[in-house]
Amino acid sequence: MNQPIKIVTVSDDSDDFVLSDADAQAIEHEKHHYEDPRAASIEALKIVQKRHGWVPDGAIKAISDLLGIPASDVEGVATFYSQIYRQPVGKHIIRYCDSVVCHITGFEEIVTELEKQLKIKPGQTTPDGRFTLLPTCCLGNCDKGPTMMVNDDTHVRLVPSNLANILEQYQ
Amino acid sequence: MSLSINKTAESHPLTWCLREDEQPVWLDEYRRKEGYVGVEKALAMHPDEVVSLVKDAGLRGRGGAGFPTGLKWSLMPKDESMNIRYMICNADEMEPGTYKDRLLMEQMPHLLVEGMIIAAHAIKAYRGYIFLRGEYVEAAENLRKAIEEAKLAGLLGKDILGSGKDFELFVHTGAGRYICGEETALINSLEGRRANPRSKPPFPAVSGAWGKPTCVNNVESICNVPSILNRGVDWYKGLTTNGSSDCGTKLMGFSGRVNNPGLWELPMGTTAREILENYAGGMQEGLDLKTWQPGGAGTDFLLPEHLDLPMDFEHIQKAGSRLGTALAMAVDHKINMVSLVRNLEEFFARESCGWCTPCRDGLPWSVKILRAIEHGEGQPGDIETLEQLCRSLAPGHTFCAHAPGAVEPLQSAIKYFRKEFEAGISGQANNLREIRGIQPNQQ
């Protein structure tokens, strides 16, 4: 509260974004799995994100053109789903489970240690752009908690002392 | 210490062919272990006979709600002109405390594919989707490989095994959000929309994906189907124990600070005590069981005295909770109930899709109050406000079951552990001005 409002200039790359041929082809391919091309919108966002790391404004427009649906609908979908990032994220995404069984087995200690090592809070990205730290709901490893995913890898039975070793694997 | 379990096809239809090395069972091995015999039998039958068989077997939905699977199938329109129909598998396993569908999909992908083919035959669907949560990367890979294997073997695609039946199956992966597990929200998500639940009726059986008749079943429900076809109704009904009125086996588990948290296939009606003590090895050294949730985050807490109840839909409901996913969570005496419920409600508040007001605004309100009580800053009247919220978010006040599920643990925690909530009330209502008709609440 009462902090001066900082005006941050973000480089607007919406005009620069060009959907790669490979991505456009992958999206075209997805379209045929469904009765209506709209159904490929989430997969299209994931395809763009896989290459680009996140979904810039220009990609929303490109996907809307490709699927023949309004850009506002693509944006509506992009902002609804938690795994679609509409702002830049780190090279590696850490998603720690903060659900109830991990509450019992102690995810809070894990987050505290992650915050200490990365010097960021959940929802933030390290200044070097290496890691983004995000909470996620139950990862379905409740018998092996606390648990987290780094990118597509699942790490279970976490203990604070072992986190540095895990982070080391992601340069 | 876990029991050494001798698994046979007769006693453990879901898990008997799992490998010791936890690697997936691929097509050749699956076929050696009675795989796709169910499909052969089903395709030789009329679709309506398959529906009747599953209905008679008494299989109830394993996703949490327990709706009879055969009955759901029989709700599909009889009108043959409605010939575009969809079979959808709900594999969006995200209920906190649940880790059963992951095991089936990662290690037994063909069991789900086989169940989907039989279900598609029964409801006359030409196309199916497995709606899988995005985080289940290994399950996606294994299911896709299983589908490819099945296609090459003539088990998917055109004219399956020469029967004239066509069926194509796709894996559709999600992009997060718990609400996608609600069946109409799932259909919206599949269509590429925001996952807001739809108003019911019409039910998906009449108007589902793209307005076509659609059936949505949980992974474990579908995985029960092949063995019902293979071994019959009497065998399936005879699997239960302790006089349970339910049928078949169920993946059950215990998590929390127990010695051997895990997942086991057990007869419906196995007591919670047997699972906790014999399979999960009891509570860890120095910890006592304080309370437990029988089947996921959205089920009411039960007490240690309820442990001797058979785990089935009927008995757990009589005790004031729900069987849910039957993956129980033990809460030990060192856990504060206010913190625990705050964690649960934070989850439900974050995952609310925002479509209807009681859920979108009521759940964050409960979190605000619970955080205050947790820090000893609760105000007189806060517990009553929470109880009022439990009533306002009860079934019938919202579009879907998200908010009603969210208040189940809250209401039962207040019922059984009111003292812990009262301990967080600071006693002084400072900074408050009571307005007629509105519950006082200030952080």
Euclidean distance between CA atoms B160 and B255, whole angstroms: 41
Lowest mean pLDDT among A8-17, A162-171, B233-242, B356-365: A8-17
Which of these, B216, B9, B38, B178, lies nearest to B110 by C-alpha position?
Answer: B38
Cα torsion angle, B425, B426, B427, B431, sign:
negative
Q: What is the pLDDT of residues B38-70, one digit of tens each?
A: 999 999 999 999 999 999 999 999 999 999 999
* Whether residue A1 has pLDDT greater than 80: no
pLDDT of residue B2: 42
User: Does pTM top 0.90 for this prediction?
Assistant: yes
Neighbours of A33 (CB within 10 A): 15
- CA angle at residue A62 from A61 to A68, to 5 degrees? 85
Euclidean distance between CA atoms B143 and B130, whole angstroms: 9
- Round to the nearest angstrom and report the end-to-end CA distance of chain A: 36
Q: What is the pLDDT of residues B299-348, one digit of tens each?
A: 999 999 999 999 999 999 999 999 999 999 999 999 999 999 999 999 99
Domain residue spans of chain B: 27-237, 249-332, 337-422
pLDDT of residue B426: 84
Q: What is the pLDDT of residues B241-282, one digit of tens each?
A: 988 889 999 999 999 999 999 999 999 999 999 999 999 999
Average pLDDT score, chain B: 94
Confidence of residue B443 (pLDDT cuts 50, 70, 90): very low
Confidence of residue A15 (pLDDT cuts 50, 70, 90): low
Mean local confidence (pLDDT), B368-377: 95
For domain B27-237, give its CATH number from 3.40.50.11540, 3.40.50.970, 3.40.50.300, 3.40.50.2300: 3.40.50.11540
Average pLDDT score, chain A: 92
* Whether residue A3 has pLDDT greater than 50: yes
* Whether residue B34 has pLDDT greater than 80: yes
Q: Return the SS3 of B265.
A: strand
* Whether residue B442 has pLDDT greater than 90: no
B350 touches chain A (CB under 8 A): yes
pLDDT of residue B115: 98
From B84, B191, B261, residue closest to A143, measured CB to CB: B261
For domain B337-422, give its CATH number from 3.30.1120.130, 3.20.20.140, 2.60.40.10, 1.20.1440.230: 1.20.1440.230
Token pair of B249 as six digits: 């086996």
| B175 with A101: Cβ contact below 8 A | no
pLDDT of residue A16: 76
pLDDT of residue B429: 57
| A138 with B173: Cβ contact below 8 A | no
Q: What is the pLDDT of residues B197-215, one digit of tens each?
A: 999 999 999 999 999 999 9
Strand order from edge to edge, sheet including B86-91? B168-173, B127-132, B86-91, B214-218
| A142 with B329: Cβ contact below 8 A | yes
pLDDT of residue B52: 97
A32 touches chain B (CB under 8 A): no
Q: Which residue in B2, B105, B191, B218 has the most chain A C-beta atoms within 10 A of its own C-beta, making it the best mutation to test that interface? A: B191
pLDDT of residue B441: 53
Percent of chain A residues topping a pLDDT of 70: 91
In sequence order, what are the beta bridge partners of B332? B289
B162 touches chain A (CB under 8 A): no
pLDDT of residue B437: 57
Euclidean distance between CA atoms B253 and B223, whole angstroms: 18
Euclidean distance between CA atoms B432 and B85, whole angstroms: 57
Euclidean distance between CA atoms B374 and B337, whole angstroms: 9
From A33, A99, A149, residue closest to B347, measured CB to CB: A99
Chain A contacts in chain B segment 164-203 (CB below 8 A): 170, 172-178, 189-195
Higher pLDDT: B175 or B441? It is B175
Token pair of B275 as six digits: 């699972």
Nearest CA distance, B261 vs chain A (angstrom): 5
pLDDT of residue A4: 53
From A67, A83, A101, residue closest to B134, measured CB to CB: A83
Confidence of residue B1 (pLDDT cuts 50, 70, 90): very low
Residue recorded with tokens 């009860």? B394
Write out the DSSP string of B341-358.
HHHHHHHHHHH--S-SHH
Confidence of residue B440 (pLDDT cuts 50, 70, 90): low
Q: Which fold has domain B249-332?
A: Ubiquitin-like (UB roll) (3.10.20)
Helices (H) and strands (E) in chain B, counts: 16, 8
Confidence of residue A170 (pLDDT cuts 50, 70, 90): very high
Mean local confidence (pLDDT), B72-81: 94
Mean local confidence (pLDDT), A125-150: 96
Q: What is the pLDDT of residues A50-97, one digit of tens each?
A: 999 999 999 999 999 999 999 999 999 999 999 999 999 999 999 999
Euclidean distance between CA atoms B345 and B403, whole angstroms: 10
